[in-house]
């Protein structure tokens, strides 16, 4: 039995479908299992990674786990996983842990803490480290649909947008092929793109003009204050600033694991056109 955590996420949703199509036994965990719509025959259970009381029932009968990086109770999770005789955990981490000082970066450290805890355990751990999710562009849907400009503090900052389907297919590969067990894989999209270039591609795909408002760091923090705590906003801003005008390093790991090149950002934009064209 394979347990998929974070069941409401896009990666988990696609991964569940892939494993179910293989005929493999799958269980999906979420803090709100009532909000899940898994394929017929796939069990949905309550699994809140911030509540260790939900761990035992979710892990019963499971041998393999696809795990989102939630650091607060990772030691408890590992303890319960060992008691349940889990043999393999695939962790969805982040390439931010490969930066120069991940211990000093709030976003990177949350993933690094989970990696270190798992690697120190006796459970075979495979690590997936995607860079920037293409779905981060979904944060622009509200202003675009409202006909307002998208506020960007660093429109020239580069990232490597990766489609959630590519992450799910990479996870499927490492879950089902023993040759990949125990590996550490950095996943990127096929292109290093600036935020401005992503906006241009969204405009081309949706057929509507999208304006950019170049704001300061502090202006952006104020706009996001209700959604992103200040320390995490600073971590994001620092990362964007460090990549301003600097292409990021790309990998071919998606193709290595899945057999096909990573999907371009235009594919993601086309798949999500409705998100940006619904009044």
Cα–Cα distance, 172 to 176 (Å, whole number): 6
Residues 6+ apart with CB under 8 A from 77: 49, 52, 55, 67
The answer to whether residue 52 is domain-embedded is yes
Q: Which residues of 122-157 are buried (b: 16+ CB within 10 A; e: fewer)?
A: ebebbbbbbbbbbbebeebbebbeeeebbbbbbbeb
The answer to whether residue 47 is domain-embedded is yes
The answer to whether residue 197 is domain-embedded is no
Domain, as residue range, for 56: 2-130
CB 91 within 8 A of CB 110: no
Residue 195: the pLDDT is 97
> Global pTM?
0.94
Residue 100: the pLDDT is 85
Tokens of 100: 């120069």
The answer to whether residue 145 is domain-embedded is no
Residue 55: the pLDDT is 97
CB 3 within 8 A of CB 66: yes
Residue 183: the pLDDT is 97
CA dihedral (64, 30, 54, 228) in degrees, to 10, reads 110
For the chain, residues with pLDDT lower than 70 are none
Residue 103: the pLDDT is 87
Number of domains in the chain: 1
The answer to whether residue 228 is domain-embedded is no
The answer to whether residue 184 is domain-embedded is no
The answer to whether residue 28 is domain-embedded is yes
């Amino acid at each position: 039995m394979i347990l998929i955590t974070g069941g409401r996420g896009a990666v988990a949703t696609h991964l569940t479908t892939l494993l179910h199509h293989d005929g493999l036994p799958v269980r999906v965990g979420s803090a709100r299992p009532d909000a899940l719509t898994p394929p017929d025959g796939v069990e949905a259970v309550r699994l809140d990674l911030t509540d260790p009381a939900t761990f035992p029932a979710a892990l019963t009968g499971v041998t393999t786990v696809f795990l989102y990086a939630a650091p607060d109770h990772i030691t408890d999770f590992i303890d319960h996983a060992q008691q349940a005789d889990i043999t393999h955990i695939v962790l969805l981490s982040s390439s931010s842990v490969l930066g120069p000082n991940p211990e000093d970066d709030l976003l990177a450290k949350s993933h690094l803490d989970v990696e270190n805890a798992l690697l120190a355990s006796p459970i075979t751990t495979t690590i997936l480290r995607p860079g920037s999710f293409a779905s981060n562009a979904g944060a622009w849907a509200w202003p675009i649909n409202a006909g307002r400009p998208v506020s960007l503090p660093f429109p020239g900052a580069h990232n490597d947008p990766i489609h959630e389907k590519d992450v799910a297919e990479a996870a499927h590969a490492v879950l089902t092929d023993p040759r990949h067990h125990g590996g550490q894989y950095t996943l990127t999209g096929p292109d290093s793109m600036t935020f401005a270039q992503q906006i241009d591609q969204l405009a081309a795909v949706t057929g509507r003009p999208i304006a950019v408002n170049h704001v300061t760091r502090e202006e952006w923090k104020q706009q996001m204050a209700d959604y992103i705590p200040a320390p995490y906003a600073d971590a994001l801003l620092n990362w964007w600033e460090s990549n301003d005008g600097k292409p990021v390093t790309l990998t071919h790991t998606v193709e290595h694991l899945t057999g096909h090149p990573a999907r371009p950002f235009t594919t993601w934009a086309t798949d999500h056109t409705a998100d940006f064209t619904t009044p």
